[in-house]
Amino acid sequence: MSYSKACCTIAPVESNYTAVGKMEQVGDLPCYVVGPADAKKAIVVIYDIFALHNNTKQFADILAKKCNYKVVMPDFFRGDACSVELLGDRDGLLAWIAKIGSLEIIAPQLKRVVEWLKANGAVAGGIVGFCWGAKIAAQYSAQDSPRFFAGISMVHPSFVDVKDAETACAPVLALPSKDEPDMVIHLLEVIID
């Protein structure tokens, strides 16, 4: 399982960025949405443990503008981002994630987002997951049926296991930071076997 000492120990960078997207409800799930309303392609961004942070909103805004896609970032934590007290407390952090952000909790919500995107004209998409969201992206790709997501990107992936790669059903772009274990060898082993 990928977990570096730097992971989940440092608070997010403070940002005074002003987001251009807006909050929309997908059923009972609040989502940050940006990009053309009639886009045929969409990207779902799954944030890290710091939730709807301005840095992640800025990423979504840039992605929507450069690609001309609809970008949706569901607020799975519903405003209950990781507390500063949990930073550096691996066991406490894992317990919090199990309570609020396991695949079993997130997958039905993510499925509703996909259905909403399709109902609004999107025909294909991708997932970008940051840190904790990277693991959810890899795990969810195994459940994505019929296939909507053509690929997933894992940025600074944490808690990712080789088993996640074994079951992923979409091409994976893994972008680990310099402080994380080299995932390439493990992913190549999965592909070769």
**Domain containing residue 36: CATH number:** 3.40.50.1820
* Per-residue pLDDT at 1: 44
Question: Would you state the structure tokens that stand for residue 142, as one six-digit string?
Answer: 């195994």
Instruction: Return the structure tokens found at 104.
Output: 């079993």
Residue 13 has pLDDT above 90, yes or no: no
Domain count, the chain: 1
Domain-embedded: residue 9: no
137 found inside a domain: yes
Render pLDDT for 135-183 as a digit per residue (tens, 0 to 9): 999 999 888 878 899 999 989 888 777 777 777 788 888 888 777 666 6
Stated pTM of the model: 0.87
User: What distance in Å separates the CA atoms of residue 162 and residue 86, rounded to the nearest whole number?
Assistant: 26
Q: Which of 109, 88, 10 shows the shortest CA–CA distance to 55?
A: 10
Greatest CA separation for the chain = 47
Per the domain annotation, does 139 fall within a domain?
yes
User: Which structural domain, as residue segments, surrounds residue 136?
Assistant: 23-192
pLDDT, tens digit (0-9, with 9 covering 90-100), for 60-119: 999 999 999 999 999 999 988 988 888 888 899 889 999 999 999 999 999 999 999 999
